Structure formats: C-alpha cells, structure tokens
Amino acid sequence: MPFLPHPAPPAEAPALRPGEFEAIRHMAHDTFGLDLRTGKEALVSARLSKRVRDLGLPDISHYLDLVQADRTGVELARLIDALTTNFTSFLREPQHFEILSAKVLPALAGRPSFQIWSAGCATGEEPYSILFHVAEALGEQRASAMKLLATDISTRALDAAAAAIYPDQRLREMPPSWPKRYFQRGTGASLGSIRVRPEWRQRVTFQRLNLMEDFSHVSKCSVIFCRNVMIYFDKPTQERLVRRFAERLEPGGWLLIGHSEGLMGIQHGLEYVRPAVYRHPGGAQGGAKRTL
C-alpha cells in the first residue's frame, strides 16, 4: 500500500498537537493494521486537515472523537482513505499474470469451479486483469467456472471498481486485443473514458472487507492476490494475516504478494516459490519449485 506519497505537506497544514499523532497511530494500527512510523506527523496532518476543514471541525482531536463515535464505520473508512492510497494499474507486476497464465490456470482448466480472491483490490484494475487473463486462458464459457472475489476496506475504491470506468489512456497498459473485447468507449460527455463491458463486470463479486477482521467465511481459494497491501503493516500484523490467508488456500493454492513485500522472518507455513510467489504445501498441483 503506497502510503502518503507526497514529499511535503501543503503549507497551510497545522502541526499536530502532542498526543494527536499517537492517537491516530494507534487507531490506524488497531483498526486496519497500518504501521504509521514516527516522522510522518507532518504528512498525516496534511492529509487529515482537509477532512477536518471539510467537516467544519476546530481540530484533529475533535475529528478523532468523531471517528470513534461513528458506529457506522463510515468516518473510519474516510480516515483510512485519507491515510492510504488506492494506487493500482492494469497488469501491475506482470510476472504474476505470466505465472497465472502459464502455470496456475492450465492446472485449474478441468475444474468445475474454483475461486480467486483479489484482497485489497482498490479500484478494480487487479481483479479485471485477473478476469481477462482467465478468459484468455480458458475461453469465455469455461471462465465462468471461476468465482472472482474482490475485496477492499475502502468503500470509495469499491464503488469505483464496480463502476469500472477509467480514463482511456489506461488502454496503453493492455494487450492490443483487450480494448475491443472487454471495454466500451465513452461517447458524448463520457468521451475519453472507457468502461468494462457489463457482461464482464458482473463476473466479479465486490465486497467490503477489512483484512484485520475475521474472514473465515471466505471459501477456499486456488489463488489469493494480496499485493501492495501488506507493505505498511508491521511484521506481527503481516504474520497473522499471511497465516490466515494460508488457511483460506486449498492445498497447492497460490499466494501472490507485491514484489516490494517480503515475508522474511515471518512464520507462515507456505512454500516459497520465487519472489512474491508462495504456495500452500501439498495438493495435486505441487512441485512448483521444480517447474518454475
């Protein structure tokens, strides 16, 4: 999860009062696993000040009170949105899609059903990239064997993912055959936009899910993508999460993480295959280390 990407806050951001950064830091850690390091005070202040101003509150302390009092979780989701970024792209980290097409999908091709989970799907580019690869590898009909679950903590990101409207420059990220097959081009007021065709959009199940909370209801997965989400979680949080992912993988199932995220020093019980690629031990699809 690239976090607070701007090098400097806007000049008008007020400094945090003593204790405020700690309060935000605890809340962010306890509720969504974010490891806010010391030194980020000015940036946190810049990000939250805008929300404080928009709500007409006198300061960040009042804002934190409001977040805690809001039982709907809506303001907490806004806080998370303010502190994190949903940056993503189609075919980001293409090595994972190469493995998906070359190794994973051939082994799943004969199955009547299987599930792939995009955990931390942001605005949808990741699950749609998965979907289009599955369609290319298995064909449109056989691709319906896949249940594609896409979750994120951010309702704002999920709304954008479900709407699936992107600037048409994003077509440059894709193979030449994809735009016509999978997208509609906007006209009139929507000129310059593209939208995933409805028959493809409806194949993705989008759900809000905080990875810090129980997800034992998620049925067993053949592949879990959780990329660029854990990068700012501390090690104990990462370890707990990867162990819980391992429980949601079927034997031989794959966990794909971001290439800047290592699981070094973490006990998780998965087999290391190559950087950013792990597998649940056992199962008919074993032997990845030998074949990759």
Ligand X SMILES: C[S@@+](CC[C@H](N)C(=O)[O-])C[C@H]1O[C@@H](n2cnc3c(N)ncnc32)[C@H](O)[C@@H]1O
Q: Which is nearer to ligand X, 149 or 153 (CB)?
A: 153
Q: Which is nearer to ligand X, 190 or 207 (CB)?
A: 207
Q: Nearest distance from residue 109's CB to ligand X, in Å?
A: 25
Is 126 near ligand X (CB under 6 A)? yes
Tell which one of 4, 138, 211, 221 touches ligand X (CB under 6 A).
Answer: 211
Q: Nearest distance from residue 47's CB to ligand X, in Å?
A: 14
Q: Which is nearer to ligand X, 4 or 285 (CB)?
A: 4
Stretch that binds ligand X, among 21-29, 139-147, 184-192, 209-217 (CB under 6 A): 209-217
How many residues in the chain?
292
Compute the CA torsion angle 89, 255, 292, 125 (nearest 10 deg). Answer: -10
Subset of residues 82 to 121 that bind ligand X, contact rule: CB under 6 A: 84-88, 92, 120
Q: Which is nearer to ligand X, 84 or 222 (CB)?
A: 84
Subset of residues 20 to 49 that bind ligand X, contact rule: CB under 6 A: 32-33
- 152 catalytically annotated: yes
- 81 catalytically annotated: no
* Catalytic residue from among 51, 78, 92, 152: 152
Active site (catalytic) residues: 47, 152
Which residues contact ligand X (rule: CB under 6 A)? 1-2, 32-33, 84-88, 92, 120, 122, 126, 152-154, 157, 210-212, 227-229, 258
